[in-house]
Chains A and B, each alone.
Chain A
Amino acid sequence: MSAKQNSRKSKWALDFNVSKNADIPSPAGYNPTALVNQTEIVRDQRLVIKKSWDLALGPLKQIPMNLFIMYMSGNSISIFPIMMVGMMLIRPIKAMFTTQVTSKMAEGAQGTGQRIVYILGNLANVGLALYKCHSMGLLPTHASDWLAFVEPQTRLEYYGGGISFI
Chain B
Amino acid sequence: MADAHFLAGALTSAMLVLLSTTVVVNGLYEDQIKKFDWRSMHVGAAKHIHVDLNHFQPRLLLGTHEQVVASICPKTGEIGWRQVLEQKARGDIKLLQVSGFADDSSDTAAAPVGTHLGFDMLTVQGHAPALVRGWNTNTGTIEWEWSVMPLNTERAQDAHWFYSNSLLYHVVPTWRSHLEVTAYFGTSGHTTGSTSKIMAAWIKPESCLLSGTFFVCVDGKQLISLDLVAKSTQVIATTLDTEPTSKVQALAGLNGVLVVNRKLVSVNKAQTVCDTLQSSSYAVGTFNYRKIVAYGDLAEGVLKIKAAYLDNCAPVPELDQSLTFNADYGTPSLRSFDCKLKRNGDGKSCLFVFSTSAESIVAVQQNRVRWVREEALANVVDSQFIDLPLADSEGTLENEMKGKSVDATGFETDIASAFLRRITTQAIQIKSLFLHVIGLGPPPTDTQRAGLVRDSFGLHKMLVLLTRSGKIFGIDNIIGKHHWQLYLPNVVGFGNDENMRLIVQRTSKHFPLQPLCTIVAKDLSTGNGVLYRFNPITGRAAEGGLLQLDYQIKQLSLLPEAEPDFVKGILLLDATNKVHVHPKHATQLADGMYLYTADVKTSELAGYFVKYAGEKLSTTPIWTVHLCGHNNEQKIVAVAGKSSIEHVHSQGRVLGDRSVLYKYINPNLVAVITQAPDALHKSILNLYLIDVVSGSIVFTMTHRKVRPPVHIVHSENWLAYSYYNDKVRRTEITTIELYEGKTQANSSVWSSLKAPMMPLVERQSYIIPTVVEALRETITERGITNKHVLIGTANGAIIEMPWALLDPRRPIASTTQGREEGAIPYIPELPLPTENFINYNQTIARLRNIYTAPSGLESTCLVVATGLDLFVTRVAPSKTFDLLKEDFDYILISIVLVALTSGSLIVRHLASRKLLKQAWK
Interface residues of A (CB under 8 A from B): 137, 142-145, 147-148, 150-166
Contact = CB atoms under 8 A, between A and B. Distances in A.
B597 interface: yes
B143 to A, nearest CB: 46
A159 to B, nearest CB: 4
A137 B658 contact: yes
B573 to A, nearest CB: 8
B364 to A, nearest CB: 39
B748 A160 contact: no
Given A152-B647, A163-B639, 16 more contacts: A142-B658, A145-B658, A148-B650, A154-B748, A154-B749, A156-B749, A157-B592, A158-B592, A161-B557, A161-B594, A162-B555, A162-B639, A163-B597, A163-B636, A164-B599, A165-B522
A165 B751 contact: no
Interface stretch (B5-13, B477-485, B492-500): B492-500
A164 B554 contact: yes
A147 B651 contact: yes
A20 B650 CA distance: 105
A165 B668 contact: no
B600 A163 contact: yes
Given A153-B746, A157-B752, A163 B654 contact: no
A165 B494 contact: yes
B650 A165 contact: no
13 contacts: A145-B658, A147-B650, A147-B654, A152-B665, A153-B746, A154-B748, A158-B594, A160-B556, A160-B595, A161-B555, A161-B557, A161-B597, A164-B554
Identify which of A151, A154, A159 gathers the most chain B CB atoms within 10 Å of its CB: A159
Contact of A165 (B496, B595, B639, B651): B496
Interface string B556-579: 111010000000000101010000
B659 A157 contact: no
Interface of B: 494-496, 498, 522, 552-558, 560, 571, 573, 575, 592-600, 636, 639, 641, 647-652, 654-655, 658-660, 665, 667-668, 692-693, 742, 746-753
Contacts of B693: 157, 159
A161 B575 CA distance: 13
A153 B558 CA distance: 21
Given A143-B660, A165-B555, A157 B495 contact: no
B650 A156 contact: no
Contact of A164 (B592, B593, B600, B649): B600
Contacts of A155: 667-668, 749-751
A123 to B, nearest CB: 27
Q: Which 4 A-B pairs have the closest CB atoms?
A: A160-B557, A165-B494, A153-B750, A161-B596
Contacts of B498: 162-163, 165
Nearest to B520: A165
Nearest to A141: B658
A150 B747 contact: yes
A160 B593 contact: yes
A159 B668 contact: yes
Given A165-B554, A166-B552, A144 B748 contact: no
A159 B692 contact: yes
Nearest to B639: A163
Contacts of B599: 164
A142 B641 CA distance: 33
Contacts of A163: 496, 498, 597-598, 600, 636, 639
Contacts of B748: 151, 153-154
Main secondary structure of the interface of B (DSSP, over half): loop
A155 B597 CA distance: 21
A145 B655 CA distance: 11
A164 B576 CA distance: 12
B659 A143 contact: yes
Nearest to A154: B749
Identify which of A143, A155, A166 gathers the most chain B CB atoms within 10 Å of its CB: A166
Nearest to B497: A163
Given A157-B751, A159-B693, A162-B597, A150 B652 contact: yes
A144 B658 contact: yes
Given A165-B495, A165-B496, A144 B555 contact: no
A164 B573 CA distance: 10
A76 B525 CA distance: 73
Contacts of A142: 658-660
Contacts of B667: 155
Contacts of A166: 494-496, 552, 554, 575
B624 to A, nearest CB: 13
Contacts of A144: 652, 654-655, 658-660
Contacts of A150: 651-652, 747
B287 to A, nearest CB: 50
B694 to A, nearest CB: 9
B665 A153 contact: yes
A159 B522 contact: no
Contact of B598 (A145, A153, A164): A164
B664 to A, nearest CB: 11
Nearest to B784: A148
A21 B557 CA distance: 129
Contacts of B647: 152
Identify which of A142, A147, A158, A165 gathers the most chain B CB atoms within 10 Å of its CB: A165
A152 B504 CA distance: 25
B746 A158 contact: no
Nearest to B651: A150
Contacts of A158: 560, 592-594
Contacts of B496: 163-166
A47 to B, nearest CB: 45
Contacts of B555: 160-162, 164-165
A162 B598 CA distance: 6
Given A157-B753, A162-B598, A164-B600, A152 B660 contact: no
A143 B573 CA distance: 45
Contacts of B668: 155, 157, 159
A159 B694 CA distance: 10
Nearest to A143: B660
A153 B553 CA distance: 33
A159 B593 contact: yes
A146 B818 CA distance: 21
Nearest to A142: B658
B571 A160 contact: yes
A27 B7 CA distance: 95
A145 B652 CA distance: 11
A158 B642 CA distance: 12
Nearest to A137: B658
Contacts of A145: 658
A87 to B, nearest CB: 26
B751 A156 contact: yes
A156 B667 CA distance: 10
Contacts of A157: 592, 594, 668, 693, 751-753
Contacts of B557: 159-161
A106 B599 CA distance: 90
Nearest to A163: B598
B558 A160 contact: yes
A79 to B, nearest CB: 22
A21 B749 CA distance: 108
Nearest to A146: B660
A166 B560 CA distance: 26
A18 to B, nearest CB: 68
B536 to A, nearest CB: 21
A151 to B, nearest CB: 7
A154 B555 CA distance: 25
